Amino acid sequence: MLHAQVMEKHRLSKTLLAIFILSILLVTLFLYTTNREVKPLAFCSYQPHGTRNCNMTEIIADLVLIKGMGFDGVKIFYEYIVDSGIVEPLLNYTRIIGLKVIFATHATYWNSIYPNIDFPNETIVNDYKRQLGAICGNITANGYDHVLFIAIYYPIPFEYEHVVEKLNSQEYLNALKDIVNYVKSFGLKVSLDTEGDPNVYAVPLLPEVDYYGIMPYSPDLDYMNVTYIESWASYFKNKGKQVYISEYGFRTWKPKEHWNFGMVSNETVKAKLIREFVDYCKKNFEIFTYFALFDADGGWGLANNYTRVLRESGIAMLEALNL
């Protein structure tokens, strides 16, 4: 009888000790998961059509470069990817190599196929939704959960005398709501991204929108203007909205007719500012995007368009991302 009691106490002690140890582990896990910092996600802007004419062999080599540099994801500009039939290959390959995806979309193809001033007319909206439907349908049908969200760029006719009046019109607002809700109907998240200073060109705050994207390229030569960035970001943060860097970069040259934003004197200055940019974004944003991997409308690129050899700025980006 006495032996049985001793054994029972021994079993009870072991049980209590196991419960105690398990409790300590659970508390430790809780504190770790609640107090650890969220790792910011770094994206690289990439234009499959503008850079590679939608050639998947070339595109795959570019995606491998993006991944190898240390980017967490790629922001894919959607021009012609639907009609070229590369939506599925893009989604499949980015998942295989572990790149997250944001799709950058714009109803007028950035004022190139349709004038921004004509948005929203029926032709533009229908064509836009056709392409959005093909992309979103592919994502949901195949369970591609590495797509963070669809970025809907906010078309601004900067050259129009009554631009603010147009942006504030009910017709404009209704069209944006319709497009946002269309993407949301696929069960996907949506961002509304603005190319203009929201303090000047007001952006509608829609309850269906998950993120707001800003593109506060520096107006000053050889300088990353943090005050300018924060003036854009605070427009949304002060209203309790989640904001991310939709585009930001530096360029060593530009087309003659282009605005001067993002200009630097040379690659060495560009490399220095890229280090500053990555360090700043890691401390202030959960998601940020560098524009771009290659030169487009100016010398933005981190690598040579043809050889893919990293420039001085590309090496700086690689090092900054991997600190």
Q: What is the DSSP letter of 192?
A: E
- Is 7 part of a structural domain of the chain? no
Instruction: Decide if 273 contacts 248 (C-beta within 8 A).
Output: no
> Is 1 a domain residue?
no
Q: Supply the CATH number for residue 156's domain.
A: 3.20.20.80
Looking at the predicted structure, is the pLDDT value of residue 50 above 80? yes
**Would residue 136 count as lying in a domain?**
yes
Whether cis (ω within 30° of 0) applies to the bond prior to 120 is yes
Asked whether residue 32 is assigned to any structural domain, the reply reads no
User: What is the per-residue pLDDT across 283-309, written as a single tens digit (0 to 9) for each?
Assistant: 999 999 999 999 998 999 999 999 999
Q: Are 84 and 49 in contact (CB under 8 A)?
A: yes
Burial of 267 (0-12, 13-18, 19+ CB in 10 A): middle
Q: What is the pLDDT of residue 141?
A: 98
Q: What is the pLDDT of residues 164-182, one digit of tens each?
A: 999 999 999 999 999 999 9
How confident is the model over 16-37, as pLDDT tens digits? 444 444 444 443 444 444 444 6
Question: What pLDDT score does 26 carry?
Answer: 40
Residue 151: pLDDT over 50: yes
Query: What band does 257 get if pLDDT is binned at 50, 70 and 90?
Result: confident
For residue 292, give the nearest of 258, 262, 257, 260 by alpha carbon: 262
Tell me whether residue 248 is in a domain: yes
Cβ burial, residue 204 (10 Å; 0-12/13-18/19+): middle
Flag whether pLDDT at 68 surpasses 70: yes
Over range 48-61, report the average pLDDT: 97
CA 268 to chain CA centroid, Å, is 26
pLDDT recorded at residue 27: 37
- Counted domains in the chain: 1
Phi, psi values for residue 189, rounded to 5°: -85, 155
Dist CA 112 CA 250 (whole Å)? 23
Per the structure, the complete domain to which residue 286 belongs is given by: 42-321
pTM of the entire predicted model: 0.89
Least confident range of 20-34, 40-54, 77-91, 221-235: 20-34
Residues 6+ apart with CB under 8 A from 87: 81, 134, 135, 138
14 part of a folded domain: no
